[in-house]
C-alpha cells in the first residue's frame, strides 16, 4: 500500500532521518514533517529538501509528539540517543529517550490512528551469536543498555500491534554510514570517524585488534528499505526484519580500503577493546528481501567513495 499524505520522521534532522527524508522527497512526497529536538540533529541536514517542515520537539513529550503525528499516514520513528559506549557511560538519558520516548511515539501514533509506523531497531539486539549471519529467529542477547533499549522498542512495537492494532514494522539497522553522519564525537559511528581522520591525514584509533567485523550499510539502502516497509501489505505488521546488506568487513579491511581510495598510507593506532562491543555482525537479509523487497544497491566501495566525496566537498564544518 503506497504512502498517502502526511509523513512524519522522528529524528528527521539527524543523519539517517534526513537521508530518509531526502529519499521520500525524491519519490515525490511533499507533506513531510521532521520531528527533532536538535540534540544531535541539524537543520542544515534538511537544507534544500522540498516539502519538508521541521517541528522542534522531544519524543518524551507526549503532547508535542501527538501534535506532530496528527493526521499522519506514516511515521518513521528514528529519533534515539545512539551509541553503545554512550549508553554504558550515561544510561539514564538513553533509557529515557530510547524506551520512554519510543513508548510515547507509539502511544501518540495509536491515538492518531496512524496507518503504519516503521521503527528503527538495532542489530545490537543480537549481541554475540555463535553463528553468522544473524537471523531474526535467533534469541536476542543484548550486551549494552543501548541494545536492551532498542530491543524493548521492538517489543513495544509488536505489542502495540497485537494489543491495539497499530501497524508497526521493526527494522534492525546494521551499522549505517554515509553523508551527514557527524564525526565530531567519540561516540560517532566508526566510518564517520575514519573518513574524518583520512581527510585530516590523522591515524584513527581502532579499539581492539581491528578484526571485529560489521555489516556496514549505506544510508540510501536503509532509507529505501524503510519506505518499502511503510508500503508493504498488512502481513508485515508487528514483525522484525534485518536491514543489512548481508556482508561483513573487519575494521582493518575498511581502513585499508579507505587508504587505497585516497592513495595514502596512514597505519592505524590500536587501543583497548570497548566495553559492550559486539565482535562480529552480519545480517541474513533473506526475510527482508522476500517479504519487503529489500534490494541494496551500494557495494561498500561505492558507499565509501560517495561518503568520502561528501566529506571532501566544502570540507570545513564537516570533519
Ligand atoms: C552499534 C550497532 C549498530 C547501531 C549503532 C548505534 C552492533 C553490531 N551495531 O554499532 O547497529 O546502529 O550501535 O550507535 O551492535 N571503533 C573504533 N574506533 C573508533 C570508533 C569505533 O575502533 O574511533 C570500533 C568500535 O569499538 C566497534 C566498531 O568500531 O567495534 C563500530 O563501532 P560504532 O560505529 O560505534 O558502532 P557499533 O557499536 O558497532
Confidence (pLDDT) at 1? 81
| Cβ of 196 below 6 Å from ligand 1 | no
Q: Which of 124, 83, 75, 132 is nearest to 104 (CA)?
A: 75
**The overall pTM is greater than 0.85:** yes
Q: How far is it, in rounded angstroms, from Cα 204 to Cα 208?
A: 12
Contact 132, 247 (CB under 8 A): no
Distance in Å, CA 165 to ligand 1 centroid: 34
Domain boundaries, the chain: 6-175+219-246+285-297, 190-213+248-282+301-318
Q: What is the DSSP letter of 266?
A: -
Tabulate helix, strand, coil % of the chain (nearest 5).
40, 15, 40
Closest atom of ligand 1 to 123 CA is: 11
Closest atom of ligand 1 to 251 CA is: 29
List, in order, residues 6 or more apart from 41 with CB less than 8 Å away: 11, 12, 13, 14, 17, 18, 34
Per-residue pLDDT of the chain in tens (319 residues, 90 and over written 9): 899 999 999 999 999 999 999 999 999 999 999 999 999 999 999 999 999 999 999 999 999 999 999 999 999 999 999 999 999 999 999 999 999 999 999 999 999 999 999 999 999 999 999 999 999 999 999 999 999 999 999 999 999 999 999 999 999 999 999 999 999 999 999 999 999 999 999 999 999 999 999 999 999 999 999 999 999 999 999 999 999 999 999 999 999 999 999 999 999 999 999 999 999 999 999 999 999 999 999 999 999 999 999 999 876 566 6
What does each C-alpha distance from 210 to 69, 188, 256, 268, 277 come to in angstroms?
A: 43, 17, 11, 9, 12
Enter the C-alpha cell of residue 61. Answer: 513529550
Confidence (pLDDT) at 295? 97
| Residue nearest (by alpha carbon) to ligand 1 atom 10 | 175
Query: Helix H segments across the chain?
Result: 15-26, 62-69, 84-89, 91-95, 102-111, 145-164, 190-200, 219-231, 251-262, 286-292, 300-312
| Cβ of 193 below 6 Å from ligand 1 | yes
| Residue nearest (by alpha carbon) to ligand 1 atom 27 | 277
Residue 91 burial by Cβ neighbours in a 10 Å radius (0-12, 13-18, 19+) = middle
| Cβ of 144 below 6 Å from ligand 1 | no
What does each C-alpha distance from 218 to 18, 93, 296, 302, 309 come to in angstroms?
A: 14, 28, 8, 9, 14
Place of cell 500491534: 161
pLDDT tens digits, one per residue of 112-142: 999 999 999 999 999 999 999 999 999 999 9
Q: How far is it, in rounded angstroms, from Cα 41 to Cα 194?
A: 20
Contact 73, 116 (CB under 8 A): yes
Confidence (pLDDT) at 316? 58
Residue numbers annotated as active site = 146
- Which numeric CATH code is attached to 190-213+248-282+301-318? 3.90.25.10
Confidence (pLDDT) at 253? 98
Contact 107, 163 (CB under 8 A): no
Distance in Å, CA 175 to ligand 1 centroid: 7
Q: How far is it, in rounded angstroms, from Cα 77 to Cα 35?
A: 9
Burial pattern 38-73, b for ≥16 Cβ within 10 A else e, equals eebbeeebbeebeebebbebbbbebebbbebbeebb
What does each C-alpha distance from 8 to 109, 119, 156, 234, 240 come to in angstroms?
A: 10, 12, 19, 20, 21
Taking the CA atoms of residue 93, residue 99, residue 104 and residue 109 in that order, the dihedral angle to the nearest 10 degrees is 130
Q: How far is it, in rounded angstroms, from Cα 238 to Cα 170?
A: 8
DSSP reduced 3-state for 182: coil
Quickly name the fold that domain 6-175+219-246+285-297 has: Rossmann fold (3.40.50)
Amino acid at each position: 500500500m503506497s504512502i498517502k499524505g502526511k509523513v512524519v520522521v522522528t529524528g528527521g534532522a539527524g543523519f539517517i532521518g534526513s537521508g530518509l527524508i531526502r529519499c521520500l522527497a525524491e519519490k515525490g512526497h511533499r507533506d513531510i514533517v521532521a520531528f527533532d529536538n536538535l540534540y544531535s540533529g541539524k537543520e542544515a541536514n534538511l537544507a534544500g529538501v522540498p516539502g519538508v517542515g521541521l517541528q522542534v520537539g522531544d519524543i518524551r513529550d507526549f503532547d508535542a509528539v501527538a501534535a506532530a503525528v496528527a493526521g499522519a499516514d506514516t511515521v518513521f520513528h528514528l529519533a534515539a540517543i545512539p551509541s553503545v559506549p554512550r549508553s554504558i557511560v550515561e544510561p539514564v538519558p538513553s533509557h529515557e529517550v530510547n524506551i520512554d520516548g519510543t513508548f510515547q511515539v507509539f502511544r501518540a501514533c495509536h491515538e492518531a490512528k496512524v496507518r503504519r509506523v516503521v521503527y528503527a531497531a538495532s542489530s545490537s539486539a543480537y549481541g554475540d551469536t555463535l553463528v553468522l549471519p544473524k537471523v531474526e529467529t535467533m534469541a536476542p542477547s543484548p550486551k549494552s543498555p543501548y541494545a536492551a533499549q532498542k530491543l524493548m522498542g521492538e517489543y513495544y512495537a509488536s505489542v502495540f500491534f497485537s494489543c491495539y492494532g497499530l501497524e508497526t514494522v521493526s527494522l534492525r539497522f546494521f551499522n549505517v554510514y554515509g553523508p551527514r553522519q557527524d564525526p565530531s564525537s567519540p561516540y560517532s559511528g566508526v566510518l564517520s570517524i575514519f573518513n574524518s581522520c583520512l581527510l585530516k591525514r590523522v591515524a584513527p584509533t581502532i579499539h581492539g585488534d581491528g578484526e571485529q567485523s560489521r555489516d556496514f550499510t549505506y544510508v540510501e539502502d536503509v532509507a529505501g528499505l524503510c519506505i518499502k516497509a511503510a508500503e508493504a501489505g498488512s502481513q508485515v505488521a508487528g514483525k522484525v526484519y534485518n536491514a543489512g546488506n548481508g556482508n561483513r568487513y573487519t575494521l582493518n579491511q575498511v581502513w585499508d580500503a579507505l587508504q587505497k581510495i585516497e592513495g595514502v598510507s596512514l597505519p592505524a593506532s590500536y587501543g583497548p577493546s570497548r566495553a559492550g562491543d559486539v565482535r562480529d555482525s552480519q545480517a541474513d537479509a533473506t526475510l527482508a528481501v522476500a517479504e519487503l523487497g529489500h534490494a541494496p544497491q551500494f557495494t561498500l566501495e561505492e558507499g565509501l567513495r560517495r561518503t568520502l566525496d561528501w566529506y571532501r566537498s566544502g570540507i570545513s564544518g564537516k570533519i
